[in-house]
Structure 1
Amino acid sequence: MVTARRSESPSVAAQSVFRHIVLEISFRSRKDQHQRGRDPKYSWKERLKMIKHIVMWNLRGTTPDEKADSVRRVRAAFDGLQALIPGLTALEIGVDVSGIDYACDVVLYSEFESREALDSYAIHPEHLRVKRELADLRITRYQVDYLAE
């Protein structure tokens, strides 16, 4: 139970209680939906956690200029995507600067509000457009999806 501190004004205390009630209702609603079988794919705890989606590529190109052009195309394909995908909260493209032979050329770091948001991203028309644009650029692709701690 949330109670007002003596130093808080009644309106601040009321806002605090209201926020607590809304969060509790939302939490119970999601938990109840899962327990009634409406969402068998993920547990209610997993549904409440942010998920990080990391993808690394090695790109085509035998010369530094060809590699640079491939990197430019990757950056251009993902530019503006975050604003178009619901639930995508962060997106960053990184280019390897180590130069070691076993490093990937490019990494995509992204964060999603939930596993459902990541699932929706996978079939979103803008994501499918990016996949088509980059299909001929990549030599290898590695992916890791994990729940944020």
Structure 2
Amino acid sequence: MVKHIVMWKLKDFAEGKTKEENIEIMKSMLEELIDKIGVIKKLEVGINFTESDAAFDVALYSEFETNEDLETYSKHPEHLKVGEFINKIRDARYVVDYKI
């Protein structure tokens, strides 16, 4: 099993919308991927509620059977489309992939 975790800090204003509006759009777009990309075994999107300078705004937790499935997900056109939007609204991104 492969776990894929990504965290983002978003811009206060981007693409004509506030951070809060973009968070909701981003969450919806990411959650829709589970129905569009068959190799995703589990996908959760969390919105931060902690007031801390160290906190990120959005976290993605997803699971895949194999490294190849994660690579298929990463290169999938629907994933790339979501990534294009996120790249326009984010300030920072961190990722970790690991096996259990």
TM-score normalised by L of structure 1: 0.62
1:55-102 CA distance string (max 9 Å, x none): 00000116xx82211211211221321121122101111011111111
- 1:56 paired with 2:42, answer no
**1:75 aligns with one of 19, 27, 30:** 27
- 1:114 paired with 2:66, answer yes
| Percentage of pairs with the same residue | 40
* Structure having the higher Rg: 1
Distance 2:42 2:4 in 1: 10
Q: How much does 1:126 deviate? A: 0.6
1:28-70 CA distance string (max 9 Å, x none): xxxxxxxxxxxxxxxxxxxxxx1000000000116xx822112
May I ask how many residue pairs the two structures share in their alignment?
Answer: 97
CA RMSD of aligned residues (A): 1.4
5+ residue gaps, structure 2, are none
Moved more, 138-147 or 79-88: 79-88
Return the letter of the residue paired with 1:58. K
Return the letter of the residue paired with 1:102. A
Return the letter of the residue paired with 1:122. S
| Structure 1 counterpart of 2:90 | 138
Check the 8 A contact 1:60/1:70 in 2, yes or no: no
TM-score normalised by L of structure 2: 0.90
Distance 2:24 2:31 in 1: 10
Q: How much does 1:133 deviate? A: 1.7
Distance 2:37 2:51 in 1: 32
Show structure 1 runs of 4+ deviating over 3 A: none
Alignment of 1:28-39 (within 5 A): none
**1:96 aligns with one of 40, 44, 48:** 48
